[in-house]
Amino acid sequence: MINSELKELYQQVILDHNRNPKNFGKIENHNHDAEGFNPLCGDHVHVYLHLDGDIITNISFEGGGCAISKSSTSLMTAMLKGKTIKEAEHIFERFHDMVTGKTAEDDDFEDLDKLAVFQGVREFPVRVKCATLAWHTVIAALKDEQAPVSTE
Amino acid sequence: MSKIEKYDVLNIRKDFPTLGLQVHDKNLVYFDNAATTHKPLSVIEKTDEYYRSMNSNVHRGVHALSQLASKEYENVREKVRKFINAGSEAEIIFTAGTTAGINLIASSFGRKFIKEGDEILITEMEHHSNIVPWQMLCEQTGAVLKVIPINDNGEISIDEFENLLTPKTKLVSVVHISNALGTINPVKQIITISHEHGIPVLVDAAQSIQHVKIDVKELDCDFLVFSGHKLYGPTGTGVLYGKEKILNIMPPYQGGGDMITSVTFAKTTYNSLPYKFEAGTPNIAGVIALGSAVDYVNSIGIEAIHAYESELSRYALAELQKIDKLRLIGTAKERISVFSFVLENIHPHDIGTILDFEGIAIRTGHHCAHPVMQHFKIPATARLSLAMYNTKDEIDYFVRSIKKIFEVFL
């Protein structure tokens, strides 16, 4: 039998996206990109974006990591397609608050849609960086930062 | 019955309070001994005793407490000398750990004897602590760091080692046992060959001191370093052994109190060995408790520990090899009870989290050995590392728990 906290962490959606990530690969017409590393784990992600004005028209990623980091990247790309930069930043803020447990107890994260499956991460402080690596990287890509992102 | 006559692992476990802990409502199974070992009660109590009944500084006071602390502190030097069979107490320098020991040698020996174009030889399986200090030295001096490659079993070859020795090689610094692969390196052979070329050798014994008998005279190494906390002692303690004749001609590492005989603004005279290398107030409580750790290991006997762990290691290896989809990283013929592995495409961190909920503590990640991970083209491994108090039952439980990982991921 699997412990309930573990079940909460490794939800089916997370396991599915780990196995079959969405938007995996490099989009040819990207005009922004950034790399992120999680040096302690060896996680590595490269995010590619196509921005039309301030709208993310296309987004993809390459790289590898644990189930949490890979599925988080996959779900993030699905969520951000068609969003504006401002919307993306706001979603990340909400996501970050959720996985670090900084939100009100009755917050159901309905606005985060599928990303709400990462609620379980807040019980695992060492895994927060797994869930947020992709987000830090996408923010860096939007700002065209040259240095790779590191979570340490 | 004494523990030497019969290795009574269940009795030994009773000496370690933390081994009785519960983690996520399960009995703790501690398989992260290469990171640090647990401490026997005698070590914990000795630390407490120092602060309760002799707290004072060493080598400074005429008063009773200082004399008592100094005596206890220096007794440990003799204990350690005997434990590794060094020739004299002058050759035993207390440090903060293995990393501190290597940095001391890189700074002191390095600055004096290593010049532009000189070469330092290490292996591909070093811990970062035996890579980075040399890279820093190379940057400062213009020396060159050379690396003995490993094969896909995680072994080095003596032929390749010999081929890399040149007239410019000024130091060979090798890990005795790899923390990431479990490989036992042929250090005796490396030392003999290096000495034929007049090259001194530093042995990183961080992962060997707790598992095998170390005899520095027999090895004939010039330097040997280890950490107290991996030998069942306190964190923040370590030992640097160096041959007296080399330590004598090395400049001090850090300047300060205790390492001098006289100071004027015109000139300072340095203290003799070993104090020349122990500037400032040392980790007195730690060193004194390290003595209790050495006593504890001696009470069981390092040979008895080695025999028990070897049997446990053979058992673990056989059981691990039975697990479908488990790939061992590091399959050297000469090895100890450190096992790195990967499970198909399940990331080590996910393995670590799930095992944690079974009460099993393992290490996941790169084990401060990036070059080893690069060699095997993997980002990380899961690692179990055993110690004198682990049991076959725990290994059986581990094997059963691995199945839960597959339950989640496959």
Q: Which two tokens stand for residue A45?
A: 């992600």
Q: Give the Cα separation of A6 and A124 in Å (integer).
A: 10
Q: Give the Cα separation of B307 and B156 in Å (integer).
A: 25
Active-site residue, from B326, B361, B368, B399: B368
- Say yes or no: A3 contacts chain B, CB-CB below 8 A: yes
Q: Extract the residue ranges of chain B whose pLDDT is less than 50.
A: 1-4
pLDDT at B257 (0 to 100): 85
Q: Are B291 and B304 in contact (CB under 8 A)?
A: no
Q: Give the Cα separation of B31 and A15 in Å (integer).
A: 27
- Has residue A72 been placed in a domain? yes
Closest CA to B124 of B98, B97, B157, B101: B157
What is the CATH classification number for the domain harbouring A130? 3.90.1010.10
Q: Which residue of A has its CA nearest to B358?
A: A3
Instruction: Give all strands of the β-sheet with A43-52 in edge-to-edge order.
Output: A55-64, A43-52, A32-38, A149-150
Which distant-in-sequence residues (6+ apart) come within 8 Å of B17 by Cβ? Answer: B41, B44
Angle at A87 between CA A85 and CA A91, to 5 degrees: 115
Write the pLDDT tens digit of every residue in A86-141.
Answer: 999 999 999 999 999 998 878 888 889 999 999 999 989 889 999 999 999 999 99
Q: Name residue B377's amino acid.
A: K
Q: How many domains does chain A have?
A: 1
Best mutation target, A13, A37, A66, to test chain B (most B CBs within 10 A)? A66
Q: How far is B365 from chain A (nearest CA, A)?
A: 5
Query: Which of B24, B349, B365 is closest, CB to CB, to A3?
Result: B24
What is the CATH classification number for the domain harbouring B381? 3.90.1150.10
Does B288 share its domain with B337?
A: no
**Domain stops at, among B264, B282, B298:** B298
pLDDT at A40 (0 to 100): 75
Q: Give the Cα separation of B216 and B241 in Å (integer).
A: 8
**Domain stops at, among B236, B264, B298:** B298
Does B13 share its domain with B72?
A: no
Does B361 share its domain with B395?
A: yes
Give the largest CA-CA distance in chain B: 73
First CA to last CA distance, chain A:
34
- Say yes or no: B342 contacts chain A, CB-CB below 8 A: no
Q: Is B161 helix (H, G, I), strand (E, B) or coil?
A: helix
Q: Which two tokens stand for residue A21?
A: 């990530």
Does B255 share its domain with B198?
A: yes
What is the CATH classification number for the domain harbouring B218? 3.40.640.10
- Say yes or no: B408 contacts chain A, CB-CB below 8 A: yes
Q: Give the Cα separation of A115 and A134 in Å (integer).
A: 13
Report whether the peptide linkage leading into residue B133 is cis, meaning its omega lies within 30 degrees of zero. no
- Has residue B39 been placed in a domain? no
Write the pLDDT tens digit of every residue in A21-58.
Answer: 999 999 999 999 999 998 777 789 999 999 999 999 99
- Say yes or no: B257 contacts chain A, CB-CB below 8 A: no
* Active-site residue, B221 included: no
Helices B302-321/B392-409 angle, 10° precision: 30
* Residues spanned by the domain of B310: 9-30+301-409
Other CB atoms within 10 A of residue B395 CB: 22
- Say yes or no: B132 contacts chain A, CB-CB below 8 A: no
Best mutation target, B132, B353, B363, B366, to test chain A (most A CBs within 10 A)? B353
Q: Do A66 and B379 touch (CB under 8 A)?
A: no
* Residues spanned by the domain of A71: 4-143
Instruction: Give the number of C-alpha atoms closer than 13 A to the C-alpha of residue A138, restricted to the C-beta side.
Output: 35
- Say yes or no: A116 contacts chain B, CB-CB below 8 A: no
- Has residue B213 been placed in a domain? yes
- Say yes or no: B350 contacts chain A, CB-CB below 8 A: yes
Does B223 share its domain with B308?
A: no
Does B149 share its domain with B237?
A: yes
Q: How far is A118 from chain B (nearest CA, A)?
A: 15
Write the pLDDT tens digit of every residue in B235-256.
Answer: 999 999 999 999 999 999 998 8
Q: Which two tokens stand for residue B180?
A: 């990431």
DSSP one-letter string for B348-372: HHHHHHHHHTTTEE-EEE-TT-HHH
Q: How many domains does chain B have?
A: 2
Q: Give the Cα separation of B340 and B153 in Å (integer).
A: 12
Q: How far is CA A113 from CA A109, A119, B272, B292, B297, in A?
A: 7, 12, 70, 58, 57
Q: Are B241 and B225 in contact (CB under 8 A)?
A: yes
Q: What are phi and psi of B95, to 5 degrees?
A: -130, -175
Write the pLDDT tens digit of every residue in A30-39.
Answer: 999 999 998 7
Q: What residues in A contact B350, CB-CB < 8 Å?
A: 10, 66-68
ipTM for this prediction:
0.87
Residue with tokens 């599925």: A71
pLDDT at B404 (0 to 100): 87
pLDDT at A1 (0 to 100): 57
pLDDT at B2 (0 to 100): 44
Helices B41-53/B284-300 angle, 10° precision: 150
pLDDT at B266 (0 to 100): 87
Q: Give the Cα separation of B346 and B358 in Å (integer).
A: 17
Q: Do B349 and A124 touch (CB under 8 A)?
A: no
